[in-house]
Chain A
Amino acid sequence: MIASTRNAETLQVGSTLPVMTQSFTIADLVAYGAATWDWHRMHYDQEFARARKFPNVMVDGQCYGAVMAKHALAWAGPRAFVRRLKFRMLAMTFAGDSLQAEAEVAEVRDEPAHAVVVLASRLKNGAKLTAEGTIELRMPK
C-alpha cells in the first residue's frame, strides 16, 4: 500500500502543514556536501569558516530548497509533483542549528489535466526567518 495523495478539492486556502524540524550537525553538512558533489570547505572546515568571520561551518543555502521540497512532499503524498520552487535566502544557518519548516496553502486552482496547489513556505531558526518561498505542486484530479 502506498501513502495517499491529498485531494486538492478538499484543501482550504490558509490551512497549515504540520511543522517539520531539520537539524544540522557537522556530519549532516558533510553528508549533504558529499551527496551534492560539493566539497566546499565552508561546509566542514571550521578553521576556514572562522578565518572568514563566520561562527561555525555553514549550511549550503541550496539545501533550503531541498528542505522545503521534502516538507511539501511528505504532506502532499507520492503522486504530487513539484512544478516550481522559488525561494529567497534571508539568513545563514550554521552547524548545530535546527530549522523549522512551516507552510500553508496559498492557492488552489484547477487546470485541464490536474489541480495546482501553491504553498507559501518558510524556514525559521527559532524566531529568525531564514528563508521564504513558494512551491507549486501539480496534483492528480
Chain B
Amino acid sequence: MALLTDELKRWIGREAHYPAHEELGRASIRYFALALDDANPLYVDDAYARQAGYPSLIAPPTLVVETCQYAHRRPDETGYIGHEWHLPVQGCRLIRAGNDYEFFRPVLPDDRISVTWTLEDIAERPSSRGGTQLFVRSVARYRDDKGDLVAINRETIVLQPLEPNA
C-alpha cells in the first residue's frame, strides 16, 4: 500500500510561521551552555566576547536551531511544544535522519528571532526492513527583526511503518 497518498502530497509546500515573542536573552544562552557542560566564556562573559571581536556575549551556534523558544503553546500529550506538521499518516514511527545547518552570523542575546518552517518534499522510498518509508524534508528559516536570515535548518525525518507495508 502506498504511503504517499494524494492527501499527503497536498502538504508539500505548506508553511508555518512563528513570530518572535521576546529577545533570545542571556539567561537562555547561559542555560544552554550549562546544560551542555560548555565552559566557553563567549557564552557568559561580555568582556571576553568583545575582546574576541563580538558586540557582546554570543549564543552557542546551534542554540537558535535547537530551541523551541519560538513556540507558544501548552505541551501536547507527548510533552512537546515545538513545530510539528501533524501529517495524516497512521501506524508510523518518527525517526530523525539528520540536519544541515547554515549560519550567517553569531546570534546575540538581544536578537528577536522569528521562524518559518516550509515542508519542501515528501518522498516514498524502499526501506531496508522491507516495504517502504516516507522521507519528509523541511526547512526552517530563522530571521532577526530586520528580516535578515541568521540561520537555516534543513531537516529530514523518516516516517517508518511499525509493520513493514510490503
Spell out A's residues near B (CB within 8 Å): 2, 5, 22, 28, 31-32, 34-42, 45, 60-63, 65-67, 69-70, 73-74, 78-79, 81-89, 133
Contacts and interface: CB of A to CB of B under 8 A. Distances in A.
Contacts of B31: 34-35
Task: Decide if the interface of chain A is mainly helix, strand, loop or mixed.
Answer: mixed
Interface of B: 28, 31-32, 34-38, 40-42, 48-49, 51-53, 60-63, 65-69, 71, 75, 78-82, 96-103, 106
A32 B52 contact: no
A79 B53 contact: yes
B71 A37 contact: yes
Contacts of B42: 78
Contacts of A37: 67-69, 71, 81-82
Given A36-B32, A69-B60, A85 B101 contact: yes
28 contacts: A2-B48, A22-B36, A22-B37, A28-B35, A35-B67, A36-B63, A36-B66, A37-B67, A38-B82, A39-B75, A40-B78, A41-B79, A62-B96, A66-B62, A66-B66, A70-B40, A73-B61, A78-B48, A79-B53, A81-B106, A82-B61, A82-B62, A82-B103, A86-B100, A87-B98, A87-B99, A89-B96, A89-B98
